[in-house]
Structures are given as C-alpha cells and as structure tokens.
Amino acid sequence: MPRLQLASPDGSTATVYQHGAHISHFQPAGQSPVLWMSQSCVYDGKSPLRGGVPICFPWFGPHAERSELPSHGYARIRPWDVDSITSTDTHTIAVFSMTPNDAELEMFPNTCHVRLTVTLSSALTMALEITNTSDSAFTISTALHSYFEVDDVKNVNITGLENTQYLSKVEGGTYTQDDQPIKFTRETDRVYQNTTTTCLLHDPDKQRQIAIEKTGSKSTVVWNPWIEKSKNMPDFGDDEWPSMCCIETAAAGPDAITIEPGQAHTITAKISAQST
Ligand code: TA6
C-alpha cells in the first residue's frame, strides 16, 4: 500500500498511508515509537488499519440510523490525495485531502472538502480541516483516533480529565471522573465531554509521558478493549491489549460540530513525548 515515510530535520520519523491518510508510525528522535499498530492489522487497501491514528469522519462510532454503514465513517477506508510535502529547517509538513465521491455522498449527503496537515518535528501535529462546500449547514462527529504504545496498560495512568463528565459505552450511562488519574482495570470505553484539556499519558515502565494537546475538539475518548473484546476483533491480537491505549481527540455526541455553508472547522492534536 502506498505510504509516505517522513523525517524531520531533528531525526524524528513518521509514516502516513495514502489509505485513510492514516498515520501508522511516529517516533521522536532518540525515543521508542509513540503510536501502536496491531501485528494483526489488515493491509488490504479496503479495511481500516488497526492502530496509529485512524480518521473517524463524518461520524464517530456506528452510524446513528444505518447499521450497515462502516463504523467511524468513510474517511479512513478510502485513498486520500497527497497535496504537498514541504520542509523547513525545523519541520516536515505533509498535506492530504479528500472530497467525497458519489458512494460516500450516498452515506452522508453533504459536499465537503477534508484536509489533513501532518507537521513533524520532535512532536507530531495533526490538523483536520473540514470545509462545508454545500449550500446548507451540516453536523458531523469526528475523531483523530490515536492509539498509543505503552509497556503495560495496567501500569499507566492518564491525567487531565479529572472531574470531567463522561459517557461510558461499557457500563452505559453518564458518570463524572473523580479527582484521580484514570487507570485501566477492565474494558474501558469512555467519551469525556465538554473538555478542552491537554491529556498526559504517564507510562512509568517506559519512563515516558506522552502529551496530547488539542484545539477545536470538546470530546476526549479513552479506550482499551481489554481481554474479551480483543478476542472478538480479528485485526487485534488476543494478547495485544496490554500494549496499547487510545486517547482520541474527538467531537462526538453532544460535542458534535455543525459547520455552516462555506465555513470550515479544524481539529488539531499535537502529540509529544518526554522522558520521565
Ligand atoms: O474509540 C473507541 C471506539 O469507539 C470503541 O467503541 C471501539 O469500537 C473502537 O472505537 C474501535 O472501533 P473500530 O471500528 O476501529 O473497531
């Protein structure tokens, strides 16, 4: 499958597949890989890639009315155009874009233009810009669905979402995070709402902290499938769940985005890693 291998002047690297404009690899110079990819990922040019940063658009999760439509929308399962690759003395920038085809417009009948700008230095910044090119407003839910590599998910914790309301897709219902960091003790699938905070993923075993800063997004999704759900995903190894967790920069549920005709909305996520 066609992919871009990017390097920044400081020696950081990233890989982006044309399929879904899917970032599958990010490794800051002198550090271990930050993004996780499944060893069981299916690279057939049709399936979504398991890991890295899938782009969920124009809906997040299952389609609200039509269960036959692809989970997380069409953007991650179709080729994007490579618009440009440029570099400065500190960054390398790659720009991808897509415009929905007839089959995609049948799923979501709103013309739009979607651009992903990937900026690589010792950090990885993703900017997803959605422009409404139609003559009526539309509402989308979307996510930069980032999968992070961890040593053992049972030993990590996430700060930045304390005291924040979330919808739990495992237990059902809405809860409020206490004033403690998030820890993983079972299947976890939470859509934190009305939050603009930076999250920190603390990984003591890797002696690393990953920061996820964001703009234009008021949902943060935290996910680990744990044991049983991992077994039920053919492109996710049964024993892989301890090595990953998702912290997703999203706009979903009550934080979905309405874009007026001719207007655009941009969601950005900046990922960086520091040794601790
Ligand atoms: O972001 C969490 C989530 O919505 C989970 O519910 C789980 O379905 C995950 O996304 C992966 O979805 P996928 O369609 O890629 O298998």
Per-residue model confidence as pLDDT tens digits over 230-261? 999 999 999 999 999 999 999 999 999 999 99
For residue 91 the two structure tokens come to 């960054």
Q: Within 6 Å (CB) of ligand 1, which residues are found?
A: 48, 61, 71-72, 145, 169, 189, 221, 223, 246, 248
> CA-CA distance, 59 to 71, in Å (whole number)?
8
What burial class does residue 31 get, using C-beta atoms within 10 Å of its C-beta: 0-12 exposed, 13-18 middle, 19+ buried?
middle
How far away, in angstroms, is 2 Cα from ligand 1 center? 25
For residue 66 the two structure tokens come to 């039509």
Q: Are 242 and 204 in contact (CB under 8 A)?
A: no
pLDDT band at 123 (very low <50, low <70, confident <90, very high): very high
Q: Is the dihedral of CA 142, 144, 147, 148 positive or negative?
A: negative
* pLDDT-above-90 percentage for the chain: 100
Q: How far is CA 139 from the centre of its chain?
A: 19
> CA-CA distance, 21 to 36, in Å (whole number)?
16
- pTM for this entry: 0.98
What burial class does residue 266 get, using C-beta atoms within 10 Å of its C-beta: 0-12 exposed, 13-18 middle, 19+ buried?
middle
How far away, in angstroms, is 42 Cα from ligand 1 center? 16
For residue 169 the two structure tokens come to 């897709």
For residue 92 the two structure tokens come to 């390398």
pLDDT digits (tens, 9 = 90+) for 151-209: 999 999 999 999 999 999 999 999 999 999 999 999 999 999 999 999 999 999 999 99
For ligand 1, atom 11: residue with the closest CA: 61
